[in-house]
C-alpha cells in the first residue's frame, strides 16, 4: 500500500515526499477511522483526504464554507486530472442536473458542498443512494462556539453520523485550540477519532508589530516598495478604511483593488478573480476576504489595524507564503483598535469569549518577545527554538529598556496617586513634569511621582504606558479612557513581576532593519534567474487567463523557481521539477521548455556580444 500511496503522490502532485503527519493521516483514513487533523495553512491538508479518496471506492463529500474555496479546489483537482465538481447556488439548474447525473453514474471522486446544502432533505436522500467513501469537514473550526468563525450551519453537521451509518468523517482545520478540538469531536460525533496535530507554526513567515502613528499610508508604501511586483494583501478593520486606503494607494501609483461586503457581489468576484489571476498584485480588504484565497505566492500581508483574535490573525497571515517560500507579515496597530473591537463585540452572543480572545490579541501586539513562540503557546503547543530568526523581537529590530521594573512602577504609582481618575495624557504630563493647567488645578505637581521621568521624552513615556496596557498590567475603561491598575499591575508594584518593555523604534534602527532585510532577500534569490522567472510567470498568467483559473493552479512559484535553477530543456528534465506530476508534465512541459530554450539562446548571444566587446 505504501508504494501505491507514493506513486499516486508523484503521479498527480509531483511530490517525492510527504510533509509531517500527512502519511499518518492518510493511513488512518484508509483504515476507515474517524480523524481530526490540525495542520497549519499551507501545510498540505488537502492531500491528506484527496489522496486516499483516489484509492477508496466511491465518492468523497467535502463540506466547505465558501463557494470561492470550493471552486478553487475543484479547478485544481481538474487541472491535475481528477474528476471533481461542486454543487452550490452559483450553478444554474442545467449544470446541477448534469453534475447529479455524473454522481449517479459513479463518474466523480469528489463532490464539494456547503453545509447548508447538506441539510436539505432532498440532498441527503440523493446521497444515500450513492456509494460514498467518506465525508470531510474542511475549516472545521467553524463548528465551534469557541472558534473564531463560528457558523450555525456547521453546528448541524452531526447529522452525518445519524443519516449515513458506517461512513467515516474526517475533520480538518488550521486553527484550533484544545477547547475547539474537543468541541469539533463532540459536535461531529466522531467515533474514537485519531488525532493528527502538527505544529501550527509557519517558520517561513516573519512577523512584525508596529504601533500605528503618523502617516499610515507612508508606512504601507514602505512595505510595498520592499516587495516590487509581488503579491500582497492589506487588511483593514472597516469598509471605509478599505475604500480610503485603496483610493490613496491608487492615486500614488500603487495599483490595487478593494474588497469588502459593502461592494456588489459581481464587483467583489471580479476583484478577487483579478487578484487570483495575477492581473493585479495588491488587494485591500476587510476580513471578508480570506478563507477562500488560495493564491500560493502572496509574499506579504499588511494589517492596517489589529484583528479581533489570534485565530483571525493566524488565518489572515496564513494566506502568505503557502508555497513554503519566505513572506513578511506587518501589523500597524493602536489602542483605538482594541476599543473599536470592544464596542463591536459587546453585543455579540459570545461577547465574553470574544473579549478574552481580543485581550490575547492585544497582548500579542504589545508584549516584546518571540512572536512565533507566543502563537504556538496560544494553540497549546510547545516551541522548541530559542530564537525563531523570523520576527521583529528575535531579529533584534528593537531594543529593550534597561530598567523596565523601575519605569513601570513609576507609571503605576502615578496612576494610583491620581486615584485612577485620569487618562494617559494627563499621567504622561505628570511623569514628564509639565505644569499644565490641569496639573495645577488638581495640584498634581505636589505628587511624589511628579517629574519622576523628566529625562525621558513624552513619546517614550506614552509608549511605555501603551505597552503596559497591551500586556494587561494597566487597563483603560469607560468613555473618558481612564487608566486603572489591572491585577497584574499589583504584581509589578510589589516587584513580583518584571514587565518586558521595548524602546520606541528610531529612524536609525529602521534603516538597520531594512539593511538586514535586504540581505535576507538577496540570499533568498541568490541562485534564481529573476529575468527568466518573470518570463515563466508571464506565460503562467496567460495560461491561467485562457483556462479562467487562478494562476497558482497552473504552477506554483516554488515550481517556477525550481525551473529557473534547473533550466529544463527536455520532457525528461522537466519531469524532475518540484510539483510536476503526470498530467502537468503532459500539459506544460513543451510550453515551458520552449521558453527556457529561447531564453538560453538569447542569454548565450548576449554573453557572446559581451565577450566580443571586451576583446575590442
Q: Give residue 3's Cα distance to chain centre.
A: 34
* Kind of pairing between the strands at 327-333 and 474-477: unpaired
Please identify which residue in the block is written with the cell numbers 516554488: 558
For the stretch 452-460, contacts whose Cβ atoms lie closer than 8 Å and that sit 24 or more positions apart, written own/partner, are: 452/410, 452/414, 453/407, 453/410, 453/411, 456/431, 456/432, 458/428, 458/429, 458/432, 459/504, 460/503, 460/504
Q: What angle do CA 127, 132, 138 make, to 5 degrees?
A: 90
Indicate the SS3 state at residue 258.
Answer: strand
Q: Is pLDDT of 144 > 90?
A: no
Question: What is residue 298's predicted lDDT score, i.e. its pLDDT?
Answer: 93
Grid coordinates given for 105: 453514474
Q: What is the pLDDT of residue 612?
A: 56
In which element (H, E) is residue 110 found? strand 110-113
pLDDT-based confidence at residue 481 (cuts at 50, 70, 90): confident
Which candidate, 383, 393, 445, places its Cα nearest to that of 414? 445
What is the pTM for the complete model shown? Answer: 0.82
Of 94-98, 322-326, 471-475, 590-594, which gets the smallest average pLDDT? 322-326
d(CA 110, CA 134): 10
List, in order, residues 6 or more apart from 496 with CB less than 8 Å away.
Answer: none
Domains and CATH numbers, the chain: 2-197 (3.40.50.300), 205-378 (3.40.50.300), 404-504 (1.10.10.10), 530-615 (1.10.150.80)
pLDDT bracket for residue 292 (50, 70, 90) = low
Q: Is the pLDDT of residue 564 over 70?
A: yes
Question: Which residues, at least 6 apart from 300, have a Cβ–Cβ distance to it below 8 Å?
Answer: 223, 226, 227, 230, 231, 232, 233, 320, 327, 328, 329, 330
Q: How much is the pLDDT for 20?
A: 73
Other Cβ atoms within 10 Å of 607 Cβ, number: 10
pLDDT tens column, 248-267? 999 999 999 999 989 998 99
Residue 286's φ and ψ, nearest 5 degrees, are -85, 180
- State the Cα torsion 342-343-347-349 to the nearest 10°: -10
Q: What pLDDT score was predicted for residue 294?
A: 66
The grid coordinates listed for 248 are 490613496
**pLDDT at residue 478 in the model:** 63
C-alpha cell at 106: 459513479
Would you put residue 533 in left (φ > 0), alpha (ψ -120 to 50) or beta? Answer: alpha
Question: Of 423, 558, 414, which is closest to residue 477 (Cα–Cα)?
Answer: 423
32 vs 26, 57, 163, 166, 264, CA distance in Å? 10, 12, 17, 9, 44
Residue 195 pLDDT > 70: yes
Residue 605: per-residue pLDDT: 77
Question: Please, which pLDDT band fits residue 348 given cuts at 50, 70 and 90?
Answer: confident
Residue 396, pLDDT score: 86
User: Rounded mean pLDDT of the chain?
Assistant: 90
* 87 in Cβ contact with 96 (< 8 Å): yes
Please tell me the least confidently modeled range out of 204-213, 433-442, 481-490, 526-535: 526-535
Is residue 138 helix, strand or coil? Answer: coil
Average pLDDT estimate for 14-18: 88
Q: Is the pLDDT of residue 385 over 60?
A: yes
Task: Work out the angle between the directed axes of helices 310-317 and 371-378 (0-180°, nearest 10).
Answer: 120
DSSP string over 420-477: T-S-HHHHHHHHHT---HHHHHTTGGGSTTTTTTTTS-HHHHHHHHHHHHHTTSEEEE
Cell numbers 470574544: residue: 354
Task: Please say if the pLDDT value at position 245 is more than 80.
Answer: yes
For residues 565-581, give the mean pLDDT: 95
What is the per-residue pLDDT across 535-546, written as a single tens digit (0 to 9) for each? 999 999 999 999
Sheet containing 282-285, strands listed edge to edge, beginning at the edge strand earlier in sequence: 205-211, 327-333, 298-303, 231-235, 282-285, 256-259
Contacts of 424 by beta carbon, 8 Å cutoff, 6+ apart: 462, 465, 466, 476, 481, 483
Amino acid at each position: 500500500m505504501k508504494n501505491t500511496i507514493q506513486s499516486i503522490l508523484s503521479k498527480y502532485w509531483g511530490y517525492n515526499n510527504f510533509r509531517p503527519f500527512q502519511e499518518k493521516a492518510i493511513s488512518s483514513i484508509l483504515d476507515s477511522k474517524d480523524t481530526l487533523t490540525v495542520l497549519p495553512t499551507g501545510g498540505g491538508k488537502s492531500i491528506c483526504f484527496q489522496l486516499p479518496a483516489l484509492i477508496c471506492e466511491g465518492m468523497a463529500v467535502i463540506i466547505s464554507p465558501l463557494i470561492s474555496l470550493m471552486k478553487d479546489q475543484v479547478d485544481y483537482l481538474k487541472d491535475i486530472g481528477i474528476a471533481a465538481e461542486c454543487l452550490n447556488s452559483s450553478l444554474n439548474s442545467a449544470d446541477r442536473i448534469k453534475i447529479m447525473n455524473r454522481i449517479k453514474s459513479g463518474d466523480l471522486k469528489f463532490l464539494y458542498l456547503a453545509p447548508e446544502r447538506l441539510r436539505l432533505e432532498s440532498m441527503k436522500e440523493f446521497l444515500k443512494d450513492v456509494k460514498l467513501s467518506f465525508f470531510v469537514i474542511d475549516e472545521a473550526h467553524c463548528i465551534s462556539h469557541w472558534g473564531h468563525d463560528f457558523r450555525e450551519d456547521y453546528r448541524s453537521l452531526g447529522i452525518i453520523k445519524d443519516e449515513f451509518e458506517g461512513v467515516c468523517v474526517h475533520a480538518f482545520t488550521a486553527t484550533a485550540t484544545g477547547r475547539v478540538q474537543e468541541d469539533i469531536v463532540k459536535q461531529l460525533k466522531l467515533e474514537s477519532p485519531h488525532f493528527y496535530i502538527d505544529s501550527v507554526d509557519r517558520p517561513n513567515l516573519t512577523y512584525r508589530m508596529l504601533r500605528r502613528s503618523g502617516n499610515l499610508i507612508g508606512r504601507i508604501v514602505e512595505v510595498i516598495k520592499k516587495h516590487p511586483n509581488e503579491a500582497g494583501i492589506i487588511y483593514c478593520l472597516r469598509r471605509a478604511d478599505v475604500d480610503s486606503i485603496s483610493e490613496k494607494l491608487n492615486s500614488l501609483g500603487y495599483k490595487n483593488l478593494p474588497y469588502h461586503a459593502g461592494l456588489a457581489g459581481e464587483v467583489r468576484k471580479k476583484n478577487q478573480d483579478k487578484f487570483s489571476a495575477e492581473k493585479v498584485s495588491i488587494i485591500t480588504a476587510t476580513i471578508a476576504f480570506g478563507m477562500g484565497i488560495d493564491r500560493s505566492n502572496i509574499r506579504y500581508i499588511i494589517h492596517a489595524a489589529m484583528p479581533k483574535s489570534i485565530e483571525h490573525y493566524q488565518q489572515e497571515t496564513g494566506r502568505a507564503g503557502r508555497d513554503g517560500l519566505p513572506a513578511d507579515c506587518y501589523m500597524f496597530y493602536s489602542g483605538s483598535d482594541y476599543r473599536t473591537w470592544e464596542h463591536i463585540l459587546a453585543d455579540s452572543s459570545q461577547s465574553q469569549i470574544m473579549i478574552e480572545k481580543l485581550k490575547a490579541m492585544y497582548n500579542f501586539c504589545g508584549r516584546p518577545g518571540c512572536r512565533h513562540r507566543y502563537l504556538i503557546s496560544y494553540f497549546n503547543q510547545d516551541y522548541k527554538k530559542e530564537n525563531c530568526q523570523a520576527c521583529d523581537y528575535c531579529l533584534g529590530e528593537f531594543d529593550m529598556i534597561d530598567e523596565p521594573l523601575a519605569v513601570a512602577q513609576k507609571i503605576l504609582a502615578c496612576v494610583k496617586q491620581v486615584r485612577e481618575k485620569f487618562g494617559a495624557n494627563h499621567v504622561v504630563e505628570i511623569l514628564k513634569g509639565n505644569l499644565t493647567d490641569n496639573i495645577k488645578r488638581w495640584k498634581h505637581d505636589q505628587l511624589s511621582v511628579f517629574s519622576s521621568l523628566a529625562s525621558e521624552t513624552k513619546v517614550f513615556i506614552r509608549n511605555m504606558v501603551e505597552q503596559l496596557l497591551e500586556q494587561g498590567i494597566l487597563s483603560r475603561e469607560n468613555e473618558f479612557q481612564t487608566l486603572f491598575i489591572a491585577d497584574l499591575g499589583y504584581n509589578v508594584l510589589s516587584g513580583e513581576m518584571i514587565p518586558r518593555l521595548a524602546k520606541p523604534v528610531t529612524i536609525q534602527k529602521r534603516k538597520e532593519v531594512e539593511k538586514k532585510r535586504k540581505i535576507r532577500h538577496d540570499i533568498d534569490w541568490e541562485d534564481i534567474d529573476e529575468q527568466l522567472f518573470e518570463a515563466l510567470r508571464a506565460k503562467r498568467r496567460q495560461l491561467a487567463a485562457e483556462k479562467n483559473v487562478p494562476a497558482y493552479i497552473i504552477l506554483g512559484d516554488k515550481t517556477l523557481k525550481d525551473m529557473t535553477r534547473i533550466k529544463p530543456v527536455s520532457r525528461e528534465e522537466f519531469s524532475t521539477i518540484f510539483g510536476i506530476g503526470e498530467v502537468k508534465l503532459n500539459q506544460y512541459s513543451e510550453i515551458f521548455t520552449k521558453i527556457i530554450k529561447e531564453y538560453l539562446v538569447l542569454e548565450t548571444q548576449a554573453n557572446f556580444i559581451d565577450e566580443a566587446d571586451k576583446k575590442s
